[in-house]
Structure formats: C-alpha cells, structure tokens
Structure 1
C-alpha cells in the first residue's frame, strides 16, 4: 500500500504539464524513496468531478479506482496531479478522501504553486489563444482577467491551508526560489523533503508559450476554424497539436517573447498588489509577489505588441495559412473522433507516432489533418524579421 498520498493541485500555468510529463515518463531516480505516479498523464477527470455536484457517479467510480491503485502499489508516496483541483473546494476533497481513501485521508499532502500575477496573465493568454479560448489581444485579455477573482490567491490558498493545515505546502513559481531553478526539480524536492535524487533526463518543455509571431498567426488560424464552425473541443485539440509540432522544432521558428505593455502592467499591479502582499506575508515571508508586480511595471513596453498576423507574414503566406487551416476541416469533421483519439494517443505517449488502431478510411482522414497541421507549423515559422 502507498504510505502517503500527495495531491498536486496546480495552479494552472505553473509548470503542471512539465511535472506531469516527468511523472508519466518516470524520470525520477531516487534510491531511498519510491514514488508511484498516477497511471494517467493527468488526473483531470477526477478533479473535474469535484467541480460539479451532478457528477457523483463518476466521482465515486474514479475515487474508487484511485483507492484500488493506492492499495495495490507499494511505494512511499503516490502522486495525483491535476491543475483543475485548484478550482475545487478543499473541504469537498477532504470529505472524498475520508469516504473513498480512508487509509490515506489523515496524512494526505497538498502541494500547490503560485505564479506572479502579471506573468500568469501573459502565460495564460498564450494558452488561450493557442487553444481558441480567446481571440482578443493581450491588453483586452488583461482587462478581462483583472475583473475576475481567480488571481486573488490569498483567500483561495488560505482555504486549503485551513483545511489541510501543515499538510498543505504553497510554493512560489519564481525561478530564484525554486530548487535548482526548475519547477520539476522543485516538485520532487518538496515531495522527498530533501532526500537526494536525480532526473534521468531534463524533461522536455511541455505546453511552452508561443512567440509573438506564432500567436498572431494562431489568432488568424483559430478565427478561420471559428468561421468554418469547427466545434470548440476540436479547436482546442487542434491548437494543442499545432503547439506541440512547434515545440518539436519547426525550422526557423521565431522566438520573440510576448510582453505586457506598461499600462496593462500598471492595471495588474493596482488590482492585485493587496493580494500579492498578503500572499507574501502569509506563505512566503518575503516580498516575492509584490516585487514581481513592481518588476512587471518597470519592464513594461510603451505600447502593446501588435498581434495581427499581417504585421509578421507576407500576403502570400497568409493566404496559404488560411488555405491549410481550411483544408484540414473536411477530413477532421468526416470522422472527428478518429483524429482526436489519435492526437490523444500521441500526446500521452510523448511521441509523434503510435497511432491508434483505425480503418483505412480513418487513417486517411487522420493523415490529412496532420499533413495540414505540419504545413501550418512550417508557414508559422516563416515570419518576417
């Protein structure tokens, strides 16, 4: 039986994908302590059952599966990781542990990371554009986020601390504060509590941010898919797949970094300074989050960066992008499940290969979609200097 369960709850945009990839690939090497990672790449399915009360049956099923796993494995620590736990009610998770994992409820540990507010907004924007969740420009997205409460960290994480007490650990996603300056290394360092370890290989960056040029292109591509009525779940998967191709090293890839303009940085600082100071006082004991807000203002650009594709690509390339984006829609919609299952398989395996079993016609559809995505990645790498 696993001795202690560790729930890694995110937050989103805090290296969660890289941590999960390292767990799934079993890159940890430690002679003194054994860690049993969750069987799946992430436990989002389990976490999502805590967000709505109409998922009771699925909640029971998935927690019972975790109990079977925890009783079957022989390890010092078992890790369950999903960034969607960040939106769950801590007391609900505690009740589920007591009900479904009673052997582990008393000693279960909770590990969370918090990224400085401004940096989180920039990273989240890149992901939202990539997956079609937002077609706004960065300054507009910033205005939307500061109206919400998700980045009010202190009240949310204080609830976790009140519920789990000393078993809750809050870490700052600040490179100078992370063990070896890396979130994956810091994650294992926290779980192992200082026991020596190594990582078999440096984990490949997962879910890395797009460049300014790539974001401008992705906005246009996602707009094309919206116009052609591609369902949102498929647009999300297409954007994720295109991002993975770019991460794999498309030739000539431009890497201009996305940055906030000063006016947006000032607005973020004004909105979240009180929370930043409270978070520093309650959890970190030094002004990490407040200093990050000041730094964001100091390095803010005088004007927002252009995010229109016309700023970076020739008219010919723009036409080719739109053609490629449109060309993949018929084979995609001919059998949406075929390509999406293939993408999930590739994503889980961490390779470009390993297609799921499919008939000849399905394979043709799948190959056609991938061909156009690879074409798009090449075009996105042809941005003008």
Structure 2
C-alpha cells in the first residue's frame, strides 16, 4: 500500500495540465529515489470530483483505493482541478466511506492565482467552450455576482475541514520553485528539491484575442447549424484539440493579448482587496496576494478588446476557416463518442511544451 496519499485540488488555471502530463508520463527522477503512483489512464482524475458532486462516488473511489492498496510506492497522487467546486466536507465523507485506510496518510494541496490574472485566464478558458461573456467587463460582472474569485471563504473551509493536512500555494512565477509549478509540487510533496523532469509538458496557456475570435466564430456556426441542444457549443474534447492545433500551427499566436481596461483594473482591486488581505493573513507570509492585486502586471492592462474575427484575419482566410469549420460540424453529428476519443488522442499527441 502507498505510504502517503496526496490530493492535488487545482485550482483551475494554475498549471494543473502541465503537472498532470508529467505525472501521467512517469518521466521524472526523484532526488532520493522516491516512487510515485498515479492511478488510471486518463490525464487527470476529474471523474472523482464529478462523482462527489453527483453523490455517486462509491465505485470510482473504491476502484482508486484498490489501485493504491496494490501499490508499494511511497506516494499515491490524485490530481483533479475540478475539486475546487466540491464542498470539502463532501470529499472528506467520500474518503472516510470509500478510502478509510488512507485518511491518516493524507495530504492535500491547492494553488491559488492572483485575482486579476485569474479573471483573464478564465475568460480565455471559457472562450474555448462558448460559455464566455461578450468581453472582460461582462465576465467580471458575472464572476463577481457569483463570488467565484472570493477565495478566502472557500480555502478557509478546506483548512477547517482537513486542518494542517491542507496546504495552499501561490501560483505566481516568483513564488514557485524555479518559477515552475511542476518542480514546486514535487518539492512540496517530497520535502526536498532536485526532481528532474524528462517529459514534455502539455500546456493550457491563455489564448490570444485572435484565437478567441476564431473560436467565437466556430461557436456561432454551430448555433446556425442547429446545435441548440448543446447550447451551440462544440464538445469539450474537440475544443481542446482545436486549440492544440492553433498552437502547433501558430495560428493567430502573434495577435494581441487579452487585456484589462484601466477602469476595470480599479474595479477588480476594490472588489477583491478585502479577500486578498484575508487570504494573506490566513495562509501566507507577508502580503503576496494583496501585492499582486495592487500591482497588476503592465502586460495585462490595455484597451477592452473587440473579438470580431475580421479585425484579425483577411476575408479569404475566414472563408477557408468557415469551410473547414462547416465540415467539422458535419462530422460532429456522426459519432460523438468516437469523435471525443479521437480528439483526446490528437491533443495528447501534441505534447506541447509549457
């Protein structure tokens, strides 16, 4: 049986994909020969938080528990960024019911991204799936009304539920070991530096304004073709594969970045100032979250973007894109299960460097 169970909880947009790709590859060398077991075959274990949310965790959790019992590794790791949406008490209950042998050898970790950076990165992420607001100002209003980035209450609940088993780390380059979340995670887990990573890492970096414009155009075409039952969205696996191809081809890679208008920066700061201070007091030495909020990187500040594709591409390029998009939409209606499987294979084969 594994000696220590580590649950990596995310958050989303904090390098989870890079970490998971390294864990899945197994291509790393630990400093003192420590061994790590990463269960299953998927990139992550997001099926576990999904099961908790649906109160159907028994089969999935017990299956993972059996894998950990059969392993003699020093560490067993579960990595699922969707745990950020799970009530800590629900996870604790699931662990006590289905994985009781591991409660006393449990550690949990989450990474938190500064508020302004999180707003921009989630806007980019949601653009893949057709869920995003018209622009960053509306995205800010939506997330503010739902208190999505009010971190302190959520992380305080994780700590009150799991005590000192839970750790929170700042996802900011100057706070990470060698500026890298993978190295940071391994050093935290192993208690020593020196893990050598030999694998290429999948990346889930932010999209440019031009790439977002193309994705919006694709989603518009979906709606016109009667995909209303899917709310005009392409399957998530297809969206991820399409973005991977953007990055391989370099399509719109050099177009302008998504930026925050100065007035919006001021609103973000006033909205999250208290939350940043509370998080600093609870979890960090000094005031890194407050400092990050007051010192929004200059590269993130600019005009409010217009995501009309014609701003970034010629009419000829857009006609070619529309033609290929129409063909892809037709294929989507054929065999969705096979389509998702193939899209996941395409994305995995890209092995994009972080």
TM-score strictly above 0.5:
yes
Matched position secondary structure for 2:296? helix
Equivalent positions of 1:332-347 (< 5 A) are: 332-347=332-347
Note the C-alpha offset of 1:139.
2.0
**CA deviation digits over 1:207-234, x for unaligned, max 9?**
2221121112221122111222333564
Distance 1:300 1:65, change over 3 A: closer
Moved more, 44-53 or 271-280: 44-53
Matched position secondary structure for 2:102? coil
Note the C-alpha offset of 1:7.
0.5
| d(CA) in 1 for partners of 2:21, 2:300 | 33
Distance 1:251 1:344, change over 3 A: closer
Aligned to 1:94: 92
Aligned to 1:128: 126
| d(CA) in 2 for partners of 1:332, 1:298 | 41
Note the C-alpha offset of 1:35.
1.0
Aligned to 2:15: 15
Aligned to 1:229: 226
TM-score by length of 2: 0.92
5+ residue gaps in structure 2?
A: none
Aligned to 2:190: 192
Moved more, 80-89 or 309-318: 309-318
Give yes or no for the alignment of 1:41 onto 2:43: yes
Q: Contact between 2:241 and 2:346, CA under 8 Å: does it hold in 1?
A: no
| d(CA) in 2 for partners of 1:116, 1:242 | 28
Aligned to 1:310: 310
Aligned to 1:204: 201
Matched position secondary structure for 2:12? coil
| d(CA) in 1 for partners of 2:69, 2:220 | 48
Aligned to 1:219: 216
Distance 1:98 1:235, change over 3 A: closer
| d(CA) in 1 for partners of 2:220, 2:102 | 47
Q: Contact between 1:265 and 1:300, CA under 8 Å: does it hold in 2?
A: no
Moved more, 133-142 or 123-132: 133-142
Moved more, 282-291 or 76-85: 282-291
Give yes or no for the alignment of 1:29 onto 2:29: yes
**CA deviation digits over 1:83-135, x for unaligned, max 9?**
11111111221122222111111221101000001101111111111122225
Moved more, 118-127 or 302-311: 302-311
| d(CA) in 2 for partners of 1:216, 1:205 | 23
Moved more, 250-259 or 63-72: 250-259
Q: Contact between 2:68 and 2:76, CA under 8 Å: does it hold in 1?
A: yes
TM-score by length of 1: 0.85
Moved over 6 A (4+): none
Aligned to 2:52: 50
Matched position secondary structure for 1:334? coil
Aligned to 1:64: 62
Distance 1:251 1:315, change over 3 A: closer
Distance 1:305 1:67, change over 3 A: same
Equivalent positions of 1:1-385 (< 5 A) are: 1-30=1-30, 31-39=32-40, 40-53=42-55, 56=56, 59-134=57-132, 136-201=134-199, 203-230=200-227, 231=230, 234-250=234-250, 253-296=253-296, 301=301, 303-347=303-347, 350-351=348-349
Q: Contact between 1:260 and 1:300, CA under 8 Å: does it hold in 2?
A: yes
Relative contact order, CA 8 A, sep 6+: which one is greater? 2
Moved more, 309-318 or 19-28: 309-318
Q: Contact between 1:132 and 1:239, CA under 8 Å: does it hold in 2?
A: no
Q: Contact between 2:52 and 2:86, CA under 8 Å: does it hold in 1?
A: yes
Note the C-alpha offset of 1:303.
2.7
Matched position secondary structure for 1:111? strand
Count of aligned positions: 346
Note the C-alpha offset of 1:323.
2.2
Matched position secondary structure for 1:110? strand
